[in-house]
């Protein structure tokens, strides 16, 4: 008896329009250049507050939200979800006021010096214990850049050390606090998230699903693949792909798209950040396709993050097509440009028409 034929490949996927739960838009000319690429793919997004100066007050967050909305091209829709940049001096009352007034959806913990524009961040978790207690009481999520900053700790171990010395004690002290571990990069942090779900979740970026640390040095130093947390060994990349495509409720989409001028990346001390906004969905859906999990893509991209943050999923849809396509290699910003992640590749999936 002949075997049943293999099922035909799915060449067109229509899903609810996704949300991006980790976005760097910057400000000014960079905001105007980067925002259209995010708004073309996502209906809503959590906006990172690490401007200069950082977004530490309700008024600053509301003003930044207004600038984002003003920068939207005509005919495009996008809802920015604002966050508070935590410092050692953050007031619990300011946190609660911004959350009650629906200016902030969450607060962001940057260990001081961990990444771009984080030097005003938190130096000791003990200093913000009253803030975390207030957030726990009012149900405001905490978003964590989970790396230690001790220069004696190898850069490839900083997430794991943060998990052991900071994250696990924090979760034990604040057992009602909702936490998102942003841009997870190690198998070990994924296991911690699983063990503490549903109050703990993790976002996974497109670039950490397709590159490991070797790619950064393949044939020479590739600064446009350098981000923080830095990409890890291949076993971690494979663990991230398994987690993203697993259907587990605690893992959802967050691109960490982070534009920098080309000169700031290609310099003696280049900035951390990958500008993946223009190719985010194309990369994610390629990974789900390769892993045989296209039926789980909508949950990862469009449903779980909204549920974690207590929001309804979007009513609009977006179409993805298995059709080779390319995007711009660079995006112009005033007299410079930003290099696009995978902009030099022909991608097997493209954004289609609904």
Q: How far apart are CA 234 and CA 101, in angstroms?
A: 44
- State yes or no: 256 annotated in a binding site: yes
Q: What's the CA angle centered on 223, arms 222 and 228, to 5 degrees? A: 120
Q: How far apart are CA 326 and CA 350, in angstroms?
A: 8
- Burial class, 233, CB count within 10 angstroms (exposed 0-12 / middle 13-18 / buried 19+): middle
Alpha helix segments (H runs only) across the chain = 28-41, 58-71, 92-100, 129-138, 158-162, 168-173, 187-196, 207-210, 213-216, 234-244, 262-265, 280-290, 297-298, 304-308
- State yes or no: 228 annotated in a binding site: yes
Active site residues: 256
Q: How far apart are CA 346 and CA 279, in angstroms?
A: 11
Handedness of CA 292, 225, 24, 84 (dihedral sign): positive
- State yes or no: 272 annotated in a binding site: yes
Q: How many CA atoms lie within 13 A of 299 on its CB side?
A: 14
Q: How far apart are CA 79 and CA 62, in angstroms?
A: 13
Q: How far apart are CA 133 and CA 205, in angstroms?
A: 29
Give bridge partners of residue 122 from the DSSP assignment. 111
Residue 265 Cα distances to 192, 241, 278, 337, angstroms = 33, 27, 18, 11
Number of residues assigned to the chain? 354
- State yes or no: 50 annotated in a binding site: yes
Give the pair of three-digit tokens for residue 189.
């942090």
- State yes or no: 196 annotated in a binding site: no
Residue the block writes with tokens 């606090």: 177
Residue the block writes with tokens 């696990």: 168
- State yes or no: 145 annotated in a binding site: yes
Q: How far apart are CA 274 and CA 264, in angstroms?
A: 12
Is residue 47 helix, strand or coil? strand
- State yes or no: 207 annotated in a binding site: no
- State yes or no: 224 annotated in a binding site: no
- Cite the annotated binding site by residue number: 22, 24-26, 50, 108, 145, 183, 228, 256, 260, 272
- Cite the annotated binding site for Zn(2+) by residue number: 22, 24, 108, 145, 183, 256
- Cite the annotated binding site for substrate by residue number: 24-26, 50, 145, 228, 260, 272
């Amino acid at each position: 008896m002949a075997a049943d034929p293999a099922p035909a490949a799915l060449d067109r996927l229509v899903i609810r329009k996704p949300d991006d739960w980790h976005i760097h838009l910057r400000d000014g000319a960079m905001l105007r250049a980067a925002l259209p690429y995010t708004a073309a793919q996502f209906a809503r997004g959590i906006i990172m507050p690490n401007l200069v100066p950082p977004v530490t007050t309700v008024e600053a967050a509301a003003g930044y939200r207004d600038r984002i909305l003003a920068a939207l091209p005509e005919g495009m829709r996008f809802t920015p979800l604002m966050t508070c940049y935590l410092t050692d001096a953050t007031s619990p009352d300011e946190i609660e006021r911004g959350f009650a007034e629906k200016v902030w959806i969450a607060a962001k913990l940057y260990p001081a010096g961990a990444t771009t524009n984080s030097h005003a961040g938190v130096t000791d978790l003990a200093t913000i214990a009253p803030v975390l207690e207030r957030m726990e009481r009012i149900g405001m999520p905490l978003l964590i850049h989970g790396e230690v900053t001790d220069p004696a700790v190898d850069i490839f171990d900083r997430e794991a050390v943060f998990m052991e010395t900071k994250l696990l004690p924090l979760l034990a002290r604040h057992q009602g606090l909702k936490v998102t571990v942003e841009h997870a990069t190690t198998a070990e942090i994924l296991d911690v998230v699983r063990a503490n779900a549903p109050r703990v979740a993790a976002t996974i970026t497109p670039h950490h699903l397709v590159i490991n640390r070797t790619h950064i040095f393949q044939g020479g130093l590739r600064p446009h693949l350098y981000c923080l947390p830095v990409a890890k060994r291949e076993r971690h990349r494979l663990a991230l792909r398994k987690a993203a495509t697993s259907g587990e409720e605690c893992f959802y989409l967050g691109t960490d798209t982070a534009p920098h001028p080309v000169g700031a990346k290609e310099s003696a001390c280049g900035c951390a950040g990958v500008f993946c906004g223009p190719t985010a969905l194309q990369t994610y859906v390629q990974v789900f396709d390769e892993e045989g999990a296209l039926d789980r893509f909508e949950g990862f991209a469009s449903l779980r993050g909204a549920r974690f943050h207590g929001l309804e999923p979007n009513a609009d849809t977006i179409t993805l097509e298995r059709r080779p396509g390319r995007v711009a290699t660079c995006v112009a910003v005033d007299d410079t440009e930003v290099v696009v992640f995978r902009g030099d590749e022909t991608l097997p999936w493209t954004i289609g028409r609904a």
